[in-house]
Amino acid sequence: MKRLQISIAALILISLSACSSPGEPAQQKTSIADSCIDASRIQKQEVISNQEIRFTLAGGEVWTNRLERTCPGLKGQGGFSWDASNRICSGLQTIYVLDSGIPCQLGEFTRATASGSAG
């Protein structure tokens, strides 16, 4: 329970820092496999399913992460946390489902299209 509280506190701190951090220039890549997103650029996180999360970054970039495996309860809980880090990395980052604390591994990031679907 204490780990969850610390993770939530870290998530809040990172979210607050995103409000005051300047955005970086938009990248033209469609995939950032084995790469990271600067956590201070994350403005919004949306759980799409138990295996998909959409990250909206400063400057309007939208990246979708398809987790390596289905993450039980992720959609139902509607949120997650991660250990305090300046970067969220594909294939390396572990997230924790809110309330249950179930750990799940992020997969590859893919740029989302204007309609919001990955591609």
User: Is this model's pTM higher than 0.85 or not?
Assistant: no
The C-alpha atoms of residue 119 and residue 111 are separated, in whole angstroms, by 6
Please say if the pLDDT value at position 15 is more than 50.
Answer: no
What DSSP line would sit under 82-110, residue for residue?
Answer: E-S-SEEETTT-EEEETTT--EEE--EEE
The C-alpha atoms of residue 61 and residue 6 are separated, in whole angstroms, by 28
Please say if the pLDDT value at position 81 is more than 60.
Answer: yes
Q: For residue 3, give Cα distances in angstroms to 14, 17, 52, 59.
A: 16, 21, 24, 32
Mean of per-residue pLDDT scores for the chain: 75
Strand partners, 37: 88
Q: Which tens digits make up the pLDDT trace of 19-73? A: 323 233 334 555 555 578 889 999 999 999 999 999 999 999 999 999 989 999 9
